Chain A
């Protein structure tokens, strides 16, 4: 004999507990896998990239503030030359040099006339 009571149409029937809960719709695929641990290689690449960027910015700034030359205080910066076809700028440069020349001549004269001390020469 079966254990279940005979069913009749008049008896209200409670739905089974499983019917009150919305059934999980899986879409037919397998259940989602557990989240993977974060990828370390990606982070390392990002950090290296940032470091390269910072280094490039630093080098750029250094280059910019050193006027486009490698920093060496002993090297003489080339004097800007005037436009080769402009006699006016050449004349200005010449006048400046002649002025320096006159200063040098005055200094030479001062040294020539410098009679020093008791043992003057």
Chain B
């Protein structure tokens, strides 16, 4: 028992006595440690920039090959993605040349907050392409509605045995749903294009709102499509 207590006391004394030496070692190695931390930060930051550049270049390839986007929207999105890739490339060079830890820390933080590649730009490009597709579908629905209205009018004139009373409300509902979808998506591309990283930094739900607009338009489109199907089936049955 005594021996145990004695050895514990000796170990404690030894550790206590070593404290000044440990402090001295820490103080003398600080510049080297800082240099290592700077190198680590630069390596990590460069890797993050490269990852973003790869994603942006992949997006650029897809955008250039896209035939669905309207030319003006395509040009605008490509310009934004290209600008961001250029700015990130410049930041990569700056980070590599940083000599102090504070500047490097700020540059690495800026990779996220200054560009918002994954949180804003890439989803924004996707949503713009989707919004363009909505415009296309809305146009198709409008044309189909015009055709069906002409058919119903013709059936009315020819006194065909179609339940015209039941068809017209479906056509009217179809027109209302198309109008509602158009209202939900109208100007959406311009709003999306205008979004900047600072907007996302201030409000992380900026894209969610626009996504909800598309969801509402999608529901309207489905309803309008079902109306059209109902009218077509009724016209077929009445022949």
- Give A contacts to B, CB under 8 Å: 76, 84-85, 87-88, 90-91, 93-95, 97-98, 100-102, 104-105, 107-109, 111-112, 114-121
Assess whether B232 is in contact with A91, with CB atoms less than 8 Å apart.
yes
Chain A CB within 10 Å, residue with most, of B68, B118, B214: B118
Interface residue SS majority, chain B: helix
- Contact partners of A91 in chain B: CB under 8 A: 144, 225, 228-229, 232
Question: Interface of B with A (CB < 8 Å)?
Answer: 44, 48, 51, 67-68, 108, 111-112, 116-120, 122-123, 126-127, 129-130, 133-134, 136-137, 140-141, 143-144, 147-148, 151, 207-208, 211, 214, 218, 221-222, 225, 228-229, 231-232, 235
Nearest chain B CB to A66 CB, angstrom units: 19
**CB proximity of A112 to chain B, nearest CB, Å:** 5
- Name 20 A/B residue pairs within 8 A (Cβ), A-sorted: A87-B148, A87-B151, A87-B228, A87-B235, A91-B144, A91-B232, A98-B222, A101-B137, A101-B221, A104-B126, A105-B214, A108-B123, A112-B126, A112-B207, A116-B51, A116-B118, A117-B48, A121-B116, A121-B117, A121-B118
Chain B residues within 8 Å of A112, by CB: 123, 126, 207-208, 211
Interface of A is mostly: helix
